[in-house]
Structures are given as structure tokens and as C-alpha cells.
Amino acid sequence: MPMILRSAVASPYSRKVKIAAYHLGLADKIETRLLNSTDPNDPIKEQNPLGKIPALVLETGRTIYDSRVIVEYLDTLAGGGKIIPTETDARFEALTTAALADGILDAAILIVYEGRYRPDQTPYGPWLDFQRGKIERALAALVAEPTALWPVTVGNIGVACALGYLDFRKQVDWRAKYPALIGWLDSFRAAVPAYDKTRPEG
Ligand SMILES: N[C@@H](CCC(=O)N[C@@H](CS)C(=O)NCC(=O)O)C(=O)O
């Protein structure tokens, strides 16, 4: 029985998991089951009380979340130390970069939700600016100290997914403001074919 990944096509956190699974050679052990957010009976709330994706239903029936934990689980299944380095400096550098990338996603998704969950109101500008400030500072930090492209880790996977999500939802025009990251992402795409395979546009 395969593991089941509850996810959505456009979910950037799910994309991290999918790239990790491809990269670790585990993609064929995972079946994707898309969230139906309009169906109140979708089992996601039983699988993850937070109601969030991604969530990975294991062969035992137990479900693990969130994306960070799932990626660590997949790394462990693959033998460990593959995309989460074991050497202390490399490990905490990769994990910190992954946290920065997740922080970009967290801010970016709040910007999307500001419009989506308050459709009858004008989005609150200062809140959007507050979130954009986080994204801009994080992108500036990634330009000042470029993330290593090799080996493939949770750090560079996270950064690539964060840039991809900004491309998709356009919260910040990062290509115009931080052009140094364009070459970085192109190099990542060339090295990690799973990135293009998991594009939200299909
Ligand atoms: N920290 C979580 C964040 C997951 C997350 O926010 N997922 C979004 C979709 S991309 C979601 O499920 N949103 C619905 C909600 O917040 O209820 C992770 O890394 O998996």
C-alpha cells in the first residue's frame, strides 16, 4: 500500500515534499490525493487537526505533518543524511535556510489569504506591507549570502519553492528586484528536474 500525500497542485509546502520524494527516489511509493477544500467531508481535518496540507498518511495509517516533518521522514526512509546533512555546520545551515524559505512562504500565503478570506473587504495595506517586508528582507539575505546549490538539501529545495510560489502568485516581483536570484533558480532547475515536474501550472 503506498503512502498517501494529501496536497494541492498550487501548495508550495506540498511542492517541497514532492521534490524531496522525487529526489530521494521515493516518488513511486507515494500516491497524491488532492485536497477538496470545498468538501466539508474531506478527511483532512481527521488526518491533520490543523486542516492543513501537506499531510502524509503512512502505510500504518498514522499521519504525519507538517512539510518539515514529512521531508525529514522521507530523508530518514532514504537512509538519512541525504537532504538533511548530518555534519553539524552543514545541517544547521541547511535547516536555517529551510526556515527562512518557509518564512517567505508563510508571509506569502498570508498575503494570498488576506484577499481570499476577506473577499468583501479591501485588503489591509499595512498588513500586506508588513508581510512583504519579511519576504523582501529574506530575498535580500539570499542575495547577500547565496544558498549553496549542491548538495540538494532542504535549504535549496525550500528556497526554490519559495521563489516558485512568488512567481505563481506574484506577491513580490522578485525577478525585477533581486535579479541575482534568477540565475540561482535556473541552476537549481537544471540540477533538480523535479522542480519543473512539480510546477503548479502543470
Ligand atoms: N507549516 C505548514 C504550513 C502548511 C500550510 O499552511 N498549508 C496551506 C496550503 S499551502 C494550508 O493548508 N492552508 C489551509 C489552512 O491554513 O487552513 C507546513 O510546512 O506544512
Specify the residue with its C-alpha closest to ligand 1, atom 11.
Answer: 52
Backbone angles phi, psi at 144, to 5 degrees: -65, -35
Count of domains observed in the chain: 2
- What is the structure's pLDDT at 49? 97
Best of 9, 16, 47, 52 for a ligand 1 pocket test (most atoms within 8 Å of beta carbon): 52
Instruction: For residues 73 and 92, state if they share a domain.
Output: no
Instruction: Verify whether ligand 1 is closer than 6 Å to residue 155 (CB atom).
Output: no
pLDDT band at 201 (very low <50, low <70, confident <90, very high): confident
Contact (Cβ atoms closer than 8 angstroms) between residue 47 and residue 58? no
Cell of 65: 505533518
pLDDT (average), residues 145-168: 98
Is pLDDT above 70 for 27? yes
Instruction: Verify whether ligand 1 is closer than 6 Å to residue 15 (CB atom).
Output: no
- pLDDT, one tens digit per residue, over 101-151 is 999 999 999 999 999 998 888 999 999 999 999 999 999 999 999 999 999
User: To the nearest whole number, what is the mean pLDDT of the chain?
Assistant: 97
pTM over 0.95: yes
What is the span of the domain harbouring residue 36?
Answer: 3-77
Q: Give residue 11 CA to ligand 1 midpoint distance, Å.
A: 8
Instruction: Verify whether ligand 1 is closer than 6 Å to residue 67 (CB atom).
Output: yes
Instruction: For residues 72 and 94, state if they share a domain.
Output: no
Let me know if residue 183 belongs to a domain: yes
Instruction: Verify whether ligand 1 is closer than 6 Å to residue 13 (CB atom).
Output: yes
Instruction: For residues 41 and 130, state if they share a domain.
Output: no
pLDDT (average), residues 169-195: 98
Query: If DSSP codes are grouped into helix, strand and coil, which group holds residue 30?
Result: strand
